[in-house]
Amino acid sequence: MASNVLLLQGPMGPFFRRLAKDLRESGSIVHKINLNAGDHFFFDDENSADYTGTIESWPNYLKQHLIDRKVDAIYLFGDERSYHRAAHKVAQALAIDVYVFEEGYLRPHYITLEKDGVNGRSSIPRTPEAYEGFDKQSAKQAVPPPVSTPYSFCHMAGFATLYYLAGWLGSKKFPHYVHHRPFGPFTEMGIWLRAAFRKYYYRIRERHVLQKLTSQHSKQFFLAPLQVHNDAQIKTWSSVPSAAAFIRRIVSSFSKHAPEDSLLVIKHHPLDRGYSDYTRLINKLACKFNCKERVIYVHDLHLPTLLNHAKGTVLLNSTVGISSILHGTPVKTSGHAVYNMEGMTFQGKMMEFWKTPGEIDHKLNQRFRNYLITKNQINGNFYRRTPNFKSHTGIDIQHLSKLIQTSSEAPQAKKAARTIPTLTITASPAAVTNNIQPPPFGLTPVETGALLQQANHGQATARKL
């Protein structure tokens, strides 16, 4: 395992602080950079540093930080954040390994750790031949069956509240920070309260829907599980720009090509419950395409039960696709997904999927799951420690160490440190209008908006002076 480690942003909560303890006990020197007061609240020790500069200056600051501390590995959570994308480019130029945490590909009992990137940036093979050696017996010898992880939603919600509150209270210390999502505690609190209300409201409203789907309409409906509205995997790795655009596509295609006795069940993402509601959009589209009686919009129905009774699953690139395949329900993706390959998902056009969704190669699926468990899945949870593991993080830290060791680059592939290349992007029209110099890496729409707000505030202050 690396001897000098740098932690950037982790999951909201104490996971990275606990991870630092585990890494230090294994002999590593662990450093941390905090980008906002929420990061600082959950990780503040003698080896942590607070970055209070601009997003434009971040790459040069990080480069010097890595060189001064002789860092040989970076750990981060979420590789699509602008700070993290820039960090990856800097690390690559300095021949420093980057390890990315993400929610598990196999849920709920795993988290993901991959070298260089996850999801669309993952190095997971996309050809069936790559999994021929991962039979059931070999995988069992490498990794035992997972220990069940405890329910963690309340812990996650509590940590999120503390994180956003601390970020707001300490915002003056980090005046230039640009978050990848709206960053305000009261806004978030309102969203969580709305989510709680909607959870129980839809539980009552939809209490008879599941029974009808699993009896009268079993194997006669297609399931379309939505992703959260601001999922980076939609914006970066799918064929549509938003969840709403995906809804428009599937309702249109379903109305034109699906058998007349079939239904389309669109399921809202549970973590997006407080942020968005597509009732009006779906009703409008269903009326437009004359399929109102055949399109059902649900929120809190039991996902595994739906998958067991669905005729097929259509989605962008959600890991629900992996669960659907496990339940034997054919899948059609509309984006870059780690499991999208011949034998696992339908490879034809969506218009064909409604009529002949095809079959799943269950042996390939088992080998694929064995590969994931062996190569990048860690038994545990980011937000609540699993009692069976005695590590500070409450995850299978021994398997984490094994993943780090086995994912090291081959000697011939190791690149010498080189000069950091010039990184440029095209400024957005709004940025040009406001005379803002774009940072040397792309920004999400939310990040661009935050940057514009900072610039406008600075210009207003200058005018007053």
Do 351 and 444 belong together in one domain?
no
Report pLDDT for 141.
Answer: 57
Residue 170 within any structural domain of the chain = no
Report pLDDT for 407.
Answer: 81
User: Of the residues 371, 395, 421, which one is the last residue of a structural domain?
Assistant: 371
pTM: 0.86
Do 290 and 400 belong together in one domain?
no
Do 391 and 441 belong together in one domain?
no
Rounded to whole angstroms, the Cα distance separating 263 from 292 reads 10
Are 168 and 399 in contact, with CB atoms under 8 Å apart? no
Report pLDDT for 138.
Answer: 60
Report pLDDT for 428.
Answer: 37
Do 219 and 321 belong together in one domain?
yes
Rounded to whole angstroms, the Cα distance separating 390 from 379 reads 13
Report pLDDT for 379.
Answer: 97
Query: Residue 279 belongs to what H/E stretch?
Result: helix 279-288
Report pLDDT for 226.
Answer: 98
Report pLDDT for 20.
Answer: 98
Are 400 and 421 in contact, with CB atoms under 8 Å apart? no
Residue 185 within any structural domain of the chain = no
If one counts the domains in the chain, the total is 3
Per-residue pLDDT of the chain (465 residues; tens, 9 = 90+): 668 999 999 999 999 999 999 999 999 999 999 999 999 999 999 999 999 999 999 999 999 999 999 999 999 999 999 999 999 999 999 999 999 999 999 999 999 999 999 999 999 999 999 999 888 666 555 557 899 999 998 899 899 889 999 999 999 999 999 998 778 778 878 888 899 899 999 999 999 999 999 999 999 999 999 999 988 889 888 989 999 999 999 999 999 999 999 999 999 999 999 999 999 999 999 999 999 999 999 999 999 999 999 999 999 999 999 999 999 999 999 999 999 999 999 999 999 999 999 999 999 999 999 999 999 999 999 999 999 999 999 999 999 999 998 886 544 334 433 333 333 333 334 333 344 344 545 555 555 555 555 555 554 444 444
Report pLDDT for 137.
Answer: 60
Question: How far, CA to CA in Å, does 351 sit from each of 246, 268, 414?
Answer: 14, 23, 45
Report pLDDT for 438.
Answer: 46
Do 354 and 397 belong together in one domain?
no
Do 358 and 395 belong together in one domain?
no
Report pLDDT for 331.
Answer: 98
Rounded to whole angstroms, the Cα distance separating 111 from 130 reads 22
Domain that holds residue 362: 209-371
Report pLDDT for 142.
Answer: 57
Report pLDDT for 461.
Answer: 46
Residue 148 within any structural domain of the chain = yes
Do 293 and 250 belong together in one domain?
yes
- The owner of tokens 């940036």 is 121
